């Protein structure tokens, strides 16, 4: 996409006759964006309850032997006070402290840099990380998820709602930004 | 470029696809976008971008 301000529109597939949303989005040259549509389409006039979100990505390579994660809360039914996010190396001894606290709907975290775990414990065959998402201030997971990034990669985790439902999706959408 | 394609098998209501305008010159002059459909009460969408220099009216994503 050339650098400018464009209008991005969503239509019901496959007829392309019913507009779900329409909004202006700015692009800058040389920048990569994650564009997310969330919110609700069944309520509100002309997609007024749809949230279209253009988030610039920073795909600068992580430090050697580190991986980076960013979390986007695109879940309208996430807890009102936001969520805490834990990313713990496996085997998890304890959940420890969250890497992100109080991440509310429509918020994007900073990039969290973590040591690439297999280098810390080369004898551990169950390497990787466990993601825990909790209501902010609670240690009871809403869900957990295994993450197995390669060294020096960047990942965006998108929290969403279940399709057609009214609850948070118990699985984050994992996007590999840099591999 | 695989960063976009890796989103494809991921599930749930959501789809992510990407587009690259590599035929229009240096990528440093271009913005690159990937689109995530996370509207829980919407079915599959087609996405189009309109603008002064965009590929007007072209369906960029089909989710």
Q: Are residues A84 and A155 in the same domain?
A: yes
Domain count, chain B: 1
Closest chain B residue to A179 measured between Cα atoms? B3
Please give the average per-residue pLDDT across A64-71, as a whole number: 96
- Grade residue B31 by pLDDT with cuts at 50, 70 and 90: confident
| Domain boundary pick from A20, A38, A56 | A56
Q: Are residues A86 and A170 in the same domain?
A: yes
SS3 assignment, position A103: strand
- What Rg do the C-alpha atoms of chain A give, in angstroms? 18
Check: CB of residue B52 under 8 Å from CB of residue B58. Answer: no
Please give the average per-residue pLDDT across A108-130, as a whole number: 78
Closest chain A residue to B41 measured between Cα atoms? A164
**Structure confidence at residue A6 (pLDDT):** 87
Cross-chain CB nearest to A1 (options B28, B46, B54): B54
Please give the average per-residue pLDDT across A26-55, as a whole number: 91
Domain count, chain A: 2
**Structure confidence at residue A5 (pLDDT):** 86
Please give the average per-residue pLDDT across A99-124, as a whole number: 84
Please give the average per-residue pLDDT across A81-89, as a whole number: 96
Q: Are residues A66 and A100 in the same domain?
A: yes
The Cβ-side half-sphere exposure at B53, using a 13 Å CA radius, reads: 15
**Structure confidence at residue B52 (pLDDT):** 73
- Grade residue B18 by pLDDT with cuts at 50, 70 and 90: very low
Closest chain A residue to B47 measured between Cα atoms? A10
Here the CATH number for the domain that contains residue A75 is 2.60.40.1110
Instruction: Indicate whether B26 pLDDT > 90.
Output: no
Q: Which residue has the higher pLDDT, A17 or A65?
A: A65
Domain that holds residue B42: 2-62
Is A161 within 8 Å of B38 when comparing Cβ atoms? yes
Q: Are residues A171 and A90 in the same domain?
A: yes
Sheet with A32-39: list strands edge to edge.
A50-56, A32-39, B32-37, B16-19
Q: Are residues A28 and A79 in the same domain?
A: no
Is B47 within 8 Å of A8 when comparing Cβ atoms? yes
Domain that holds residue A139: 60-179
| Domain boundary pick from A56, A73, A89 | A56
Check: CB of residue A145 under 8 Å from CB of residue A172. Answer: yes
Query: How far separated are the first and last CA of chain A, in Å rounded?
Result: 22
Number of residue pairs across A and B with CB atoms under 8 Å? Answer: 180
């Amino acid at each position: 996409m050339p650098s400018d301000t464009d209008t991005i529109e969503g239509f019901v597939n496959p007829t392309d006759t019913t507009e779900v949303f329409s909004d202006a989005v700015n692009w800058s040259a040389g920048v990569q964006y994650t564009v997310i549509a969330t919110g609700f389409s069944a309520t509100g006039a002309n997609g007024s309850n749809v949230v279209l979100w253009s988030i610039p990505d920073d795909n600068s390579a992580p430090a050697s032997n580190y991986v980076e994660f960013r979390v986007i809360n695109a879940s309208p039914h996430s807890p009102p006070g936001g969520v805490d996010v834990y990313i713990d190396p496996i085997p998890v001894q304890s959940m420890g402290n969250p890497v992100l606290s109080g991440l509310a709907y429509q918020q994007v975290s900073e990039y969290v840099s973590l040591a690439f775990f297999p280098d810390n414990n080369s004898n551990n065959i169950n390497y990787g990380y466990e993601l825990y998402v909790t209501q902010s201030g609670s240690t009871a997971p809403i869900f957990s998820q295994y993450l197995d990034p390669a060294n020096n990669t960047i990942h965006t985790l998108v929290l969403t709602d279940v399709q057609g439902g009214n609850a948070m999706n118990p699985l984050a959408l994992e996007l590999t930004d840099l591999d | 470029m695989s960063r976009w394609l890796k989103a494809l098998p991921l599930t749930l209501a959501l789809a992510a696809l990407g587009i690259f305008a590599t035929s229009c010159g240096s990528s440093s002059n271009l913005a690159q976008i990937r689109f995530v459909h996370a509207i829980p009460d919407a079915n599959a969408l087609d996405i189009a971008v309109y603008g002064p220099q965009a590929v007007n009216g072209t369906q960029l994503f089909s989710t």
